[in-house]
Structures are given as C-alpha cells and as structure tokens.
Structure 1
Amino acid sequence: MMRGRTARRTAEHRLVWQAASLLLAYPDDEQSARLDLVTQLCAHLPPERARPLLSVADALRAIAENVAAQQYVETFDLRRRATLLLTYWTDGDTRNRGMSMLAFTEAYRGAGVTPPDNEVPDHLPVVLEFAATVDPVAGAALLTAYRRAIHAIGLALADEDSLYTPALAAVTATLPPATEQDLGWARRLVDAGPAAEAVGLAPFTLTVPPRRDAREPAVAKGLR
C-alpha cells in the first residue's frame, strides 16, 4: 500500500516537473506544440496539481508568440531578480558557483546521461527535465537542495504578478514543505538580489538547444 502511494506520488511529480519545464522554456516556434503537450500531461494529474500548470499554458496561448518571447526575456534574462539559474541565487557569479554547478553535471553523468551542451546545468528547466525524464531520485535531490532558490524565484515572480508564478508554485508543491527560515531566506534574497558578480564563468556546454544570443534562454528539450 505504502509503496503504491509512493509510486503514484513520484509519477505525479514527474508529470509536474515535465510540464513546468515546458512552460518555463523560451517561447519559440515550437511553443504551441509544447503547450499542447502540457495539456496532455495535465490530463493525468489530479485537478489541484494540474490547475496551476494549465493556467500558465492558457495565459501563454492568449498572447502572441513575439510578445511572450519579449516578456520571457524581460522576466528571466535582463534582470537577475528572477533568474532561473539556481546556483546564481546561492553563489552569485563567484568561484563557489563553479563548484556548485559541477554538482549538477556530476548528477547528470551519474545517471548515465550527457550533460547538455548549450545551457548551464543549473538552469531550472533543464533540472526539471532531468528529474522528469531521466532520474527522479537524483533530480528530486537537486530540486530539494535548491528549494530555497526555487521559492525565491516564485516570490520574485509573484511580486511582478508574472504569468509564470503558478508554474513555480506547482514545482514547490512537489518539494518538502518550506520552513519559516526557508521563506525568510528567500524573501531576503529576493529583496537584496543574488550576490554581486565577482568572477566571470564560462557556461558549461550542455545538450539542450542553444540560446539565441547572450540574453535568450535555451528551450529544455531533454537530456540524452
């Protein structure tokens, strides 16, 4: 009985992670197909888990692709305040961040897959894709280790009344409950911003589609 509940919960989490990864991808010419896949995935989820994900999909369908792309870049790329790079929240652009990113690369390799070539390994859509499609145990461990950063992203998006806010809420609902300390840390970090740049780091070479330019994010398509 317990094993069956655990398996069902893991399956639900993987569906949420896959849907959220698709929703947090850069809105390119494959956006419509991704949103259709989100709808298909949500059909296998309980209503309370599907509702926030579907609300983001509906919001994205309601705006033109070029407008969605502009909003995405403004939200996630032009400002550090809502960056999807998880280690940036904990380490900023410091030498410590290089070691933190290495933990993601090692997790991917430990699961028998090649780290993506064209995106840093701590990009949240990439981590969600890994957790959903490759190794839910290792993926959940990474997401849990960075749950404070994920909460911070969610708070930053909520402050801006972003259409992506429910996608982050759906992800945090799959993680261990946040403590008051976790939420306080996230709020302070959102208010202060990630650590100031100290050392420039070249991105890892990963297997998701490359960014269009230095400002635009990759679409998480999966790890091989």
Structure 2
Amino acid sequence: MPGFAVLYQAAALCLTYPDDGLRDRLPLLREAAPQLRGFADHAAVTTPPDLQAHYAEVFGSGTPRLLHLGWWGEGDTRRRAVSPARFEERYRAHGLECADGQRPDFLPAVLELASRTGDTGLLVEHHDALERLRSRLTALGTPYACVLDAVCATLPPGTAGARR
C-alpha cells in the first residue's frame, strides 16, 4: 500500500485532539490529502473551543468510539491487556516507541507508524475495527467519519474481519 504515507499522517493529525495549531495546518492538510476535505472544511469554520468540545463528545472515554484499536478487538476484558503488547512489538521492530503516556493502539499513533515506515500491518489486521468505528462515526454524522472513510479506502478489500 505504498503512496498513502501523506494521507496516513494527515489522518493522524485529524484524529488527534485539536490543538491551537490545527487551524494553521488546514491549508496544507487540504492540499496534501484532498480526501480529508470534509473534515478540514468543518474544522475551518468551527471555533477551536467548539471543535475541542466536539472531539471530546465523539471520542471521550466511556464511548464505544474510542480511538484505541485494542478496545474494538478485545472489548473490556482481560485479553485487552495483551493487545497493546502486540502493538509495541511492531513499533520496536521499526526502532520506534510511543510517546510517554500514549497507548500504542491509539489510532493516530498507528497511522503515524504506517506513515513513517510503510508498515500497514496493524491497519490491515484491525480493518474490521476501523470499519466498525467508521460505521459509528457515520451514524453520528460527524465530520470525523470522512477521515475513517479515507483510511479504510486504502486497505485491501476482504481484510475486514481478518484478524490476527
């Protein structure tokens, strides 16, 4: 799946808590990843506090739309603790580590890994989780759905449901 590095990096930016610098990066995001224009247009006309509140509403803890891929695959069971170790192994295989305090199954981190290394294995492995997240975001009518639409469109057909 070469050629998607810029899209993955841009999607990671979109799915990270919207900081004050996001608005400054929107023109570059629109140009580099036109597939994310729906989100970029929304972010451009939404005040930073409203954008932050919307992010917290959509992705806040306790919602079934968490951006942690291990949650989707394992749910809230003891097996979920195994999932982050598998992600960490993939980072270490490329000489990378997650930022302090960040879970390795955090979707923006997984997208950055794919962008920096070309290793889309975790995205392919968790295609089903991404599709379920995409479906829920679409049902909510949130602009974040177009980000998942773009990421899922880069994955090979038939990988949804193919886990581990």
Helix, strand or coil for the counterpart of 1:116? coil
1:14 to 2, 5, 13: 5
Q: Does 1:107 align with 2:107?
A: no
Q: Distance in 2 between matches of 1:27 and 1:102?
A: 27
Higher Cα radius of gyration = 1
Q: Does the Cα contact within 8 Å between 1:150 and 1:168 map onto a contact in 2?
A: yes
Q: What is the CA distance between 1:80 and its match in structure 2?
A: 2.2
Paired position in structure 1 for 2:59 = 76
Paired position in structure 2 for 1:164 = 144
2:68 to 85, 94, 99: 85
TM alignment of 1:1-224, pairs within 5 A: 10-11=2-3, 13-42=4-33, 50=34, 52-133=35-116, 135-137=117-119, 140-178=120-158, 182=161
Q: TM-score, normalised by structure 1?
A: 0.68
What percentage of aligned pairs have identical amino acids? 34
> Which 5+ residue runs of structure 1 have no aligned equivalent?
1-8, 43-49, 183-224
Which residue identity is paired with 2:29?
V
Number of equivalences: 161
1:158-199 deviation digits (Å, cap 9, x = unpaired): 1111111110000001111147x74xxxxxxxxxxxxxxxxx
Paired position in structure 2 for 1:195 = none
Q: What is the CA distance between 1:150 and its match in structure 2?
A: 0.3
Alpha-carbon RMSD across the aligned residues, in angstroms, is 1.6
Q: What is the CA distance between 1:95 and its match in structure 2?
A: 2.1
Q: Does the Cα contact within 8 Å between 2:98 and 2:109 map onto a contact in 1?
A: no
Q: Distance in 1 between matches of 2:32 and 2:5?
A: 10
1:104-138 deviation digits (Å, cap 9, x = unpaired): 111111101122212111010110011102x112x
Q: What is the CA distance between 1:147 and its match in structure 2?
A: 0.4
Q: TM-score, normalised by structure 2?
A: 0.91
1:23-59 deviation digits (Å, cap 9, x = unpaired): 11111112113323312423xxxxxxx2x30121111
